[in-house]
Structure 1
């Protein structure tokens, strides 16, 4: 299939580009490589924002697991200092069907539409090339946490990646900081509060089993 190049999105915002892709996609959907071609894959921020969108949408299952590894690949390349993103063939051929694209477009508009009116260039020292490698390392960590087989593990880190990457696109250092703080709070919760909650759950299960066991 011949896909339009970056000019497809030249006069649209990212969310408008996603809505246009969902409307014009065939029933079987588009591969991640097709999608990256339409987004202008010279920009890490655009790719990460798009891939993070399905992770932000509560109770959207399947698609976040498709995009989490490609998210890690892009963020890892940012951390390594690459000037342009590259996607391994096995990731690029992953496909999101038209239904999934439509859900992403609607969910993105509902949950993240406010960003388009809120963001503006500011605190640009955070979005420079030197800072980009550090940001990429954090985004890689947030993306990795999406792979955890726990309920709702995709939503909070997805928002963190989406906010930070959109901030990079628009040179909005404040938005980048907000995304990083959200992602770091999530990681803190997993590392510190997660084991405590797990131990409490094990204790409650043990008490329940003991209560059911005849004395």
Structure 2
């Protein structure tokens, strides 16, 4: 039986669960990564990619160590998607990480309505590359690549932001089975590669 496409309400629910956890962080709450995964339930891969990406896109990404932790999480998610693990699992140390940062409150308030409006843009299209095994393989490769780059090289200016943006877009595309958005997310790796190449050339020169 063909898998039913998500309704706009289902897409919004997945986004809302992700953003609600982030909003709690922004307003000084203490929440663990494991609690976030529990909130997202069985459809956690896409929303969790969104959440990890936002943690480096928002000012929290400037906190020392956050890009590396996000990279580890992205790498773990990527490997699980590539091996068809039914639901996300993270090592205990990552699940127990507590996040709380009041100073991102205004930034989150700015992003919440914008991301919730994405439901008007996302829709099932080019679904062959955004659903089922193929969709998870593409998202898994992207998450794994972002993690492999971010863990050792997250200190390079703007690189974590660009990689985080790719995770956000691909995570949303996976939740909505939107192949066009999936391609857009993969395209974000082009400027990430450009930044990395420029940095390497500077070190060589």
Displacement, 1:49?
1.0
Displacement, 1:189?
4.0
Equivalent residue pairs, number: 191
Question: CA distance change for structure 1 residues 32 and 100 in 2, over 3 Å: closer, same or farther?
Answer: farther
Instruction: Give 1:138's aligned residue.
Output: 142
Question: CA distance change for structure 1 residues 178 and 24 in 2, over 3 Å: closer, same or farther?
Answer: closer
Displacement, 1:72?
1.5
Instruction: Give 1:180's aligned residue.
Output: 186
Displacement, 1:65?
4.0
Q: Which runs of 5+ in 2 are unaligned?
A: 1-8
Instruction: Give 2:16's aligned residue.
Output: 16
2:108 maps to 1:105: yes
Q: Which of structures 1 and 2 has the bigger CA Rg? A: 1
C-alpha distance in 1 between matches for 2:133 and 2:11: 29
- Summarize the alignment of residues 30-179 of structure 1 with structure 2, pairs less than 5 Å apart: 30-57=31-58, 60-62=61-63, 63-97=66-100, 99=102, 102=105, 105-106=108-109, 108-109=111-112, 112=115, 115-131=118-134, 132-147=136-151, 148=153, 149-179=155-185
Displacement, 1:67?
2.6
Q: Is the 8 A contact 1:15 1:109 kept in 2?
A: no
Q: Which has the higher contact order (CA 8 A, sep 6+)?
A: 2
TM-score (norm 1): 0.74
Displacement, 1:193?
3.1
Give RMSD over aligned pairs. 3.0
Q: Which runs of 5+ in 1 are unaligned?
A: 1-8, 201-215
Instruction: Give 2:5's aligned residue.
Output: none
CA deviation vs aligned residue, 1:118-147 (integer Å, no higher than 9, x gap):
211100000133322233122211133223
CA deviation vs aligned residue, 1:65-105 (integer Å, no higher than 9, x gap):
44331122112211222122111111100111152774673
Name the structure with the higher helix share. 2
